[in-house]
Amino acid sequence: MTENDPSAHDPAAPRHPETGQQAAQGGWAGSPYGDQAATPESGGTPQYSAPEPSYHAVTGADPSYGTQQTANPWSAQGAASGQTQQSVYPNPNPYAQAGPAGYGTPPAPPAQPKRSGGKLLAGVALVALLVGGIAGGAVGYLTGGTANGPVGNALDAPKPAQQTGNAPAGSVEAVAQKLSPSVVELQVSGQQGAGEGSGFVISTDGYILTNNHVVEVAANGGQIQAVFQDGKKAAAKVVGRDPTTDIAVVKVSGVNNLTPVEIGRSDDLRVGQSVVAIGSPFELAGTVTSGIVSSLHRPVRAGGGQGGQETVMDAVQTDAAINPGNSGGPLANMSGQVIGINSAIYSPQSGQGQGQGGSESGNVGIGFAIPIDQARRTADTIIKTGQAVQTYIGAQVTDAPQGGAKLGAITPGSPAEKAGLKSGDVVTKIDDRNIDTSDTLVAAIRTRAPDEKATFTLADGRTVEVTLGGQPVPAN
């Protein structure tokens, strides 16, 4: 025998505490401490050498056990591989009991040899817990099938009664049932490309309200097709659109007796109230999501970051999931009344609101909707005249260094000039709403109707009453 002979025996080598066998070089065969682990008697700390986890894509099971050269000592595969495994319980089982069914008084367990450092005891305790849990489960299963009657199986149980009746009032389900028949998917195409978005029916004869950026590509000789909840399709054409508020109206032909939505109001919304969004995100028509009103009066440029200051809207912010394709779809309260038009989402890439049609950014819990009060007024004007009217004061505006909106050039004959506003004036409040930026001022004006009166508070303490004006939005 040589010094490196693995079969060599050293009389001074420690012996296995239960089998009496001496450890071959590298540890006991089948030891839970691995091939190179320190022996319990040596006082060394066991070094576990488990394989890297490789979980099954479906079950989460680790397929590495049973396939390695050294099988998992705690698995059935280890036994099948022919490796000798030492039971944590000495034979005979000290818990086996005499009697007809193996029950009786258990003999006292044999005294265990002392272990140095207590590390082996800790390891055995851990293994006993693991194996004990498995054995306990097996005993419970056998007992459940004998002493406690037959084993129950959920697959053998009859189906529960089918759901009947209406959805509970005020639930997301009830809102979806009420609104879904009125929501359409709009498929658009034109010389500059193609896309899709959402819209909702506002009249039985086929008027549909949506975003301007949804149908813009088809505004000049393009095609629009509306797809309804039941799968029916109808051609549509643009009636009128307003890029400054990102609102458009289209009308379908060849269909009758459509189901219009119930329009609510947005001037009494409260932060935290529940809302539901319906639309066609990523062409998944009829998708329903829910959330809350996260904030109100959020200045956002319509059509995303590409829009200028003239497109700022006074948005309703929501955390209801809104994604590309939701644009133009309704945001509703829990009575199923439309309180906004989903229009934009926050894009972390650019830090600005992004129009649904122009960005593939996904939902991050920050979406924006046009208040329905503003959309209703614009849509009504478009249907009656074919052209939108924009509320304005006739002054250029920039951010003031100390906060507020600083007025620039004043248009002669404009509402601002008639009210006595001057270039250089800094607006800090409109009525009871604080104005911290120029976009906030534009949004506050846009949400109001032409001919309304508003009190402007200036940084020097003066107040000026302004009668807001209205001007047609050029058709293009």
Give the distance between the most distant pair of CA atoms in the chain: 113
Single out the catalytic residue among 182, 198, 246, 319. Answer: 246
222's tokens? 């393009």
- Report, in angstroms and rounded to the nearest whole number, the Rg of the chain calculated over CA atoms: 37
HSE of 274 in the Cβ direction (CA atoms, 13 Å)? 10
Torsion angle of alpha carbons 425, 426, 432, 436, nearest 10°?
A: 160
Tokens 């593939």 sit at which residue?
360
- Helix/strand/coil (H/E/C) assignment for every residue in 79-126: HHCCCCCCCCCCCCCCCCCCCCCCCCCCCCCCCCCCCCCCHHHHHHHH
Tokens 């939108």 sit at which residue?
388
Q: Is 9 a catalytic residue?
A: no
Q: Is 267 a catalytic residue?
A: no
Helix (H, G, I), strand (E, B) or coil at 178: helix
Single out the catalytic residue among 31, 182, 266, 327. Answer: 327
> What does the chain come to in residues?
476
> In 10 A of CB 380, how many CB atoms?
12
The answer to whether 247 touches 212, Cβ cutoff 8 Å, is yes
Kind and range of the H or E element at 236? strand 233-242
Tell me which amino acid residue 61 is. Answer: A
Q: Is 156 a catalytic residue?
A: no
What long-range pairs does 27-32 form, CB within 8 A, spacing at least 24?
29/83, 29/84, 30/73, 30/83, 30/84, 30/85, 30/86, 31/73, 32/73, 32/74, 32/123, 32/127
Single out the catalytic residue among 31, 182, 198, 213. Answer: 213
Kindly give, in sequence order, each residue whose CB lies less than 8 Å from that of residue 131, ignoring residues fewer than 6 positions away.
Answer: 74, 88
Measured distance CA(452)–CA(93) in Å, rounded:
92
What residues are labeled active site? 213, 246, 327
